[in-house]
Chain A
Amino acid sequence: MSLETFRNLIPFSELLAAIIGTIYFFKYKHTSLKYFLFLLWYITLTEFTGWYVIEKEVLSLIFLDENGVKYNLWMYNLLRFITFNTLFFVYYNYLNTKMFKKWIKIFAIIYSSIYIINWSFIQSFIWEKSEIPKILGSIFLIIVILFYFIESLKLEKIVLFHKKLLFWISIGLLLFYTGTIPFALKYNTYMLIPGIHKLFLIIWILALIMYLIFTFGFIWSDKEK
């Protein structure tokens, strides 16, 4: 299997997770986890649109540099901004501990501010992947997942955690966002080194694992109360 084939599997794993999530929507439609499904569909849509605009050269949605290289990075930069904020929102609504909620709010504000500052003064929204916000967002998200774990452990009742959808979502997110932090460091510099693209296989494997965990979680979890 070539690297490119492997990369092409990811949008389909996202689509699979979104479809399965929609089928099992009745389990969590009354909780904030419904926003997670909307996010999954948005990610899938961006992934397919991103591929389509490059393949078909939809000039109104892509940018060309002086060498004629096509860029659709703005779609993914926007996607990342929305992804982290939606995830913060989902955990914010799901958790009950006031202190944790307060911190999630602070994280969301800091993250959004840094993202906007980065776009405005440090990195281009169109030509570069946003490195600093990605690292910051990942670290904040890991902390938020820790909050969820701590709250779950503090609950004085028996929790069948492996039957909770958010547990599986958290595991998928944790593996992907911790594993991809090293890749975000100086991404725009090292990606120009010839032959480095083979290394991206790790990101793609982690992404595939994440979406498969989401899919499993949708099927395996119990209906939320």
Chain B
Amino acid sequence: MEQERVTLIILISTVVVLVFAVAMIVLFSIFQHLKNKLLIDNKSLRDIIRNKLSSFDV
């Protein structure tokens, strides 16, 4: 009885904390991916503007 109770408590809490850890890793990966994408888009946008501006200069 005691063994079952302890096993259940430990199992449930382990699952909870592991879900938290995995969620943290997944969220970090998603945000990092989005950030990289935004930076790449930003850079290409900057390049377009720079090209446009130089053509205006001409």
A interface residues (Cβ-Cβ under 8 A, vs B): 142, 146, 149, 152-153, 156-162, 171, 174-175, 178-179, 181-183, 190, 193-196, 199, 202
Contact B21 A158 (CB under 8 A): no
Contact B20 A161 (CB under 8 A): no
Contact B17 A179 (CB under 8 A): yes
Contacts of A190 in B (CB 8 A): 6, 10
Given contacts A158-B36, A158-B39, contact A196 B3 (CB under 8 A): yes
Given contacts A158-B40, A178-B20, A182-B10, contact A149 B28 (CB under 8 A): yes
Contact A195 B3 (CB under 8 A): yes
* Closest beta carbon of chain A to B17's beta carbon, Å: 4
CA distance A178 to B29 in the complex (A): 18
Given contacts A159-B32, A175-B18, contact A196 B7 (CB under 8 A): yes
CA distance A104 to B3 in the complex (A): 38
Contacts of B24 in A (CB 8 A): 146, 149, 174
Contact A152 B10 (CB under 8 A): no
Contacts of B18 in A (CB 8 A): 175, 178-179
B contacts with A: majority SS: helix
B interface residues (Cβ-Cβ under 8 A, vs A): 2-3, 6-7, 9-11, 13-14, 17-18, 20-22, 24-25, 28-29, 31-32, 35-36, 39-40
Contact A182 B13 (CB under 8 A): yes
CA distance A190 to B31 in the complex (A): 40
A contacts with B: majority SS: helix
CA distance A138 to B1 in the complex (A): 30
Contacts of A195 in B (CB 8 A): 3
CA distance A149 to B28 in the complex (A): 7
Contact A171 B20 (CB under 8 A): no
Contact B21 A161 (CB under 8 A): no
Contact B17 A159 (CB under 8 A): no
Given contacts A161-B29, A196-B6, contact A182 B36 (CB under 8 A): no
Counting chain A CB atoms within 10 Å of each CB, which of B3, B7, B13, B14 scores highest? B14
Contact B17 A182 (CB under 8 A): yes
Contact A171 B25 (CB under 8 A): yes
Given contacts A158-B39, A199-B10, contact A193 B2 (CB under 8 A): yes
The residue from A152, A174, A183, A194 contacting B14, defined by CB atoms under 8 A apart: A183
The residue from A142, A156, A196, A199 contacting B39, defined by CB atoms under 8 A apart: A156
